[in-house]
């Protein structure tokens, strides 16, 4: 029966069967619970499947036909609940067909289904499938998309300290990047491979220091080496600081102890930030970027209490690091432009969308009273968050990537564990909530309420810090200025209010909108404000109150709006069912995206500025590739 497939697929299938039979260890102990072993005798099932689908397999010569048959096999696998061996072989064959078509997302989807039921080494199976998909990629655009899929997986492998998998995935990404014929993409993958090797070498050296600390917890060299590993290579500062504070490097020890003391005065926070920044200047990446990110953390804490040149310095360094982290200094798209995925699952209107900071996940909130976390590599639901008793109007990821926020008309904002789907904290209000915003460090939550006020909350404790009244109707949206000095809010009263957080005084009130203000956003330098509440977007200069630009082109009300992290691009969506992509420097429309079948209510940028999310009345969430 195997003769019905091409030699390439036959070879690949043989490898996959060998790997799957030999490797029966899953990613975590939790994942192995109640899973079935790989069936030992698969001959009967394989012969049955090849007999039934002999003609289909022979005719599946083009990538599209192979993908279609693979999708059908996945569905057949889900329905084969009474025969484990049939189910296993169907998923394996679906993976092989999808990989032979160069359809990496479909191949991964088949393996995810396989891993739900069977105790397999998912990393190895995915690597095998992705390698075949890269080799069989039918177009340059497909190869670009494969790289986009692989890079987050490499990061996931590194986070799990699975460096063999990370190295293997890096080699596959290199193949895909070269087939894309994009030099910048090849360079980016090579840089990532170098970073993986650096971290891998650091990890290999760890055990000897771990052993030494078991003997002597005050061993300065061991504390230093472990601290540098967690700080520079893993960005785990909560683990790194206590180690560095007992390490043998005097400069690092002094800075770590100051950091652990958590200074409260702006001048002390600034001094600590400057210390980390100066140390970063003496290092090379990845240590330099890790130190700069720690400096950014303290600049963000200090900036609200700074003035003059110190404030300017802090703001510029915050923006510089943010640009490095987000990758906004790079030019050119890394994937196809247009709709990449349609995410389906909500049963009513989608009101809000957001990316995780690493770009691997999305969250959406809906009138159906659920928030859904999506795996963007596969386009599948990862978690459904249930508990709100009314529609959800705002969502956001915490910068740590492990938690998410929601705000609902049930008068609560909630913090959730993104991995378990469990509610971790609740922020209760008197009336419905419509919007939320987070400080850059994730320590402060802002909410927009029907009681005509904006609220500020301590995320760690759940305590209300302050309430800012002033609107004469429901508040729909809230945004915190990047410099931390001001907060803006938009309301059904058709005004936008900007309040100084140090004094509590109104800085500016912007009027003239034709409808309720549904979105506000600050420019990265905190000088300008963007707002929706008409058939166009207005941009104001805060200091003068002058309207400096309009973004006009929609044929209906603009409801959704988002500003790119670098401030160079604007996204809008509205009643005309379109999404528009704008140059903020000129006001020129750069691209129009169509695909939604009804009003677009919300849009969001990824943190690298290269992809977008949208949601709407048609109950779908869509992922888009953006031009540069």
Mean pLDDT over 197-222 rounds to: 85
Q: Which of 396, 356, 16 is nearest to 156 (CA)?
A: 356
Summarised one tens digit per residue, pLDDT across range 44-100 is 999 999 999 999 999 989 999 999 999 999 989 888 878 999 999 999 999 999 999
Summarised one tens digit per residue, pLDDT across range 479-522 is 999 888 899 999 999 999 999 998 889 999 999 889 999 999 99
- Amino acid 328: pLDDT: 36
CB 408 within 8 A of CB 388: yes
What size, in residues, is the chain? Answer: 628
Q: What are phi and psi of 257, to 5 degrees?
A: -65, -40
Token pair recorded at residue 470: 């002033």
Token pair recorded at residue 267: 């001048």
| 59, part of any domain | yes
Residue 192 or residue 160, greater confidence: 192
Token pair recorded at residue 184: 């910048």
Summarised one tens digit per residue, pLDDT across range 15-40 is 343 333 333 333 333 333 478 999 99
- Amino acid 6: pLDDT: 38
The number of CA neighbours under 13 Å toward the Cβ of 603 is 33
Strand partners, 522: 529
Check pLDDT > 80 for residue 302: yes
* Dist. CA 228–CA 232, nearest whole Å: 5
Q: Given pLDDT bands bounded at 50, 70 and 90, which one contains residue 560?
A: very high
Whole-model pTM over 0.75: no
**Parent domain of 440:** 338-487+554-625
Domain end, chosen from 103, 138, 173, is at 138
Burial per residue of 527-566, b for 16 or more beta-carbon CB atoms within 10 angstroms, e otherwise: bbbbbbbbbbbbbbebeeeeeebebebbeebbbbbbbbbb
Q: Which long-range contacts (CB under 8 A, 24 or more apart) does 445-449 make?
A: 445/405, 445/413, 446/478, 446/480, 446/487, 447/407, 447/413, 447/478, 448/394, 448/407, 448/475, 448/476, 448/477, 448/478, 448/489, 449/474, 449/475
Q: Given pLDDT bands bounded at 50, 70 and 90, which one contains residue 575?
A: very high
- Containing H/E element for 125? helix 122-135
* Dist. CA 102–CA 247, nearest whole Å: 49
- Amino acid 379: pLDDT: 87
| 571, part of any domain | yes
Q: Given pLDDT bands bounded at 50, 70 and 90, which one contains residue 162?
A: confident
| 229, part of any domain | no
Summarised one tens digit per residue, pLDDT across range 313-363 is 988 888 788 767 654 333 333 457 888 899 999 999 999 999 998 788 999
- Amino acid 525: pLDDT: 82
- Cα distances (Å, whole numbers) of residue 148 to 334, 336, 359, 360, 374: 7, 10, 10, 10, 16
Q: Given pLDDT bands bounded at 50, 70 and 90, which one contains residue 627?
A: confident
Peptide bond preceding 286 in cis form (omega within 30 of 0): yes
CB 495 within 8 A of CB 529: no
Check pLDDT > 50 for residue 447: yes
| 55, part of any domain | yes
CB 331 within 8 A of CB 618: no
* Dist. CA 120–CA 437, nearest whole Å: 41
Mean pLDDT over 538-546 rounds to: 93
- Amino acid 555: pLDDT: 93
Percent of the chain having pLDDT more than 70?
92
- Amino acid 326: pLDDT: 52
Summarised one tens digit per residue, pLDDT across range 115-152 is 888 998 888 899 999 999 999 999 988 888 888 778 87
| 513, part of any domain | no
Q: What is the dihedral of CA 627, 572, 454, 321, to 10 degrees?
A: 10
Residue 573 is part of a domain; what is its CATH number?
2.130.10.10
Strand partners, 447: 436, 455
| Number of structural domains found in the chain | 2
Domain end, chosen from 106, 138, 170, is at 138
Across 503-619, where does the E strand assignment appear? Answer: 506-510, 519-522, 528-532, 536-541, 546-552, 558-563, 569-574, 578-583, 589-594, 600-605, 611-616
* Dist. CA 458–CA 438, nearest whole Å: 11
Summarised one tens digit per residue, pLDDT across range 236-290 is 788 899 999 999 999 999 999 999 999 999 999 999 999 999 999 998 888 899 9
Q: Given pLDDT bands bounded at 50, 70 and 90, which one contains residue 578?
A: very high
| 14, part of any domain | yes
| 262, part of any domain | no
Instruction: Name the average pLDDT for the chain.
Output: 87
- Amino acid 537: pLDDT: 96
Domain end, chosen from 138, 170, 204, is at 138
């Amino acid at each position: 029966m195997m003769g019905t497939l091409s030699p390439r697929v036959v070879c690949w299938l043989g490898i996959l069967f060998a790997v799957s039979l030999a490797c029966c260890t899953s990613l975590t102990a939790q994942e192995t619970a109640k899973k079935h072993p790989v069936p030992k005798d698969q001959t009967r099932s394989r012969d049955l499947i090849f007999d039934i689908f002999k003609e289909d397999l022979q005719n599946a010569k083009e990538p599209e036909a192979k993908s279609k048959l693979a999708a059908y096999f996945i569905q057949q696998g889900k329905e084969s609940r009474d025969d484990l061996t049939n189910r296993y072989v169907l998923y394996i064959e679906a993976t092989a067909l999808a990989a032979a078509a160069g359809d990496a997302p479909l191949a991964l989807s088949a393996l995810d289904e396989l891993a739900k039921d069977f105790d397999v080494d998912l990393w190895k199976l995915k690597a095998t499938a992705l390698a075949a998909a890269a080799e069989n990629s039918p177009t340059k655009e497909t190869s670009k998309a494969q790289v986009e899929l692989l890079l987050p997986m490499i990061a996931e492998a590194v986070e799990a300290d699975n460096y063999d998998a990370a190295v293997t995935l890096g080699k596959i990404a290199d193949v895909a990047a070269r087939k894309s014929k994009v030099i910048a993409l090849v360079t980016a993958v090579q840089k990532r491979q170098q970073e993986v090797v650096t971290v891998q070498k650091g990890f290999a050296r760890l055990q000897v220091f771990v052993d030494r600390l078991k003997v002597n917890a005050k061993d300065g060299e061991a504390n230093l080496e472990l601290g540098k590993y967690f700080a520079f290579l893993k960005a785990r500062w909560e683990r790194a600081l206590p180690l560095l504070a007992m390490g043998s490097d005097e400069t690092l020890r002094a800075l770590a102890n100051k950091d652990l003391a958590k200074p409260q005065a702006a001048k002390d926070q600034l001094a600590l930030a400057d210390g980390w920044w100066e140390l970063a200047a003496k290092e090379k990446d990845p240590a330099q970027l890790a130190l700069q990110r720690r400096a950014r953390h303290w600049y963000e804490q200090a900036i609200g209490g700074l003035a003059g040149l110190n404030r300017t310095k802090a703001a510029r360094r915050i923006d510089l690091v943010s640009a490095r982290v987000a990758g906004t200094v790079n030019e050119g798209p890394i994937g196809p432009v247009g709709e990449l995925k349609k995410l389906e699952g909500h049963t009513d209107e989608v009101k809000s969308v957001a990316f995780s900071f690493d770009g691997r996940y999305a969250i959406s909130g809906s009138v159906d009273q659920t928030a859904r976390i999506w795996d963007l590599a596969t386009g599948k639901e990862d978690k459904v968050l249930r508990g709100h008793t009314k529609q959800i109007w705002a969502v956001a990821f915490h910068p740590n990537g492990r938690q998410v926020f929601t705000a609902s008309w049930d008068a609560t904002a909630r913090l959730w564990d993104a991995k378990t789907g469990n509610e971790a904290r609740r922020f209760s209000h008197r009336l419905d909530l419509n919007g939320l915003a987070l400080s850059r460090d994730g320590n402060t939550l802002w909410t927009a309420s029907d009681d005509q006020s904006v609220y500020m909350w301590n995320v760690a404790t759940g305590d209300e810090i302050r309430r800012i009244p002033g609107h004469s109707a429901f508040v729909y949206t809230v945004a915190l200025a990047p410099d931390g000095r001001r907060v803006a809010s938009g309301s059904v009263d058709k005004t936008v209010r900007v309040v100084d957080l140090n004094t509590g005084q109104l800085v500016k009130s912007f009027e003239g909108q034709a409808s309720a203000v549904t979105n506000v956003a600050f420019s990265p330098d905190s000088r300008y404000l963007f707002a929706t509440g008409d058939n166009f977007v207005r941009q104001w200069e805060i200091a003068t109150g002058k309207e400096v630009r309009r973004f006009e082109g929609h044929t209906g009300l603009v409801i959704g709006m988002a500003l790119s992290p670098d401030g160079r691009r604007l996204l809008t969506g509205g009643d005309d069912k379109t999404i528009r992509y704008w140059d903020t420097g000129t006001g020129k429309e750069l691209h129009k995206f169509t695909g939604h079948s009804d009003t677009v209510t919300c849009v969001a940028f990824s943190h690298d500025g290269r992809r977008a999310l949208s949601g709407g009345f048609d109950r779908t969430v869509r992922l888009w590739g953006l031009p540069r």
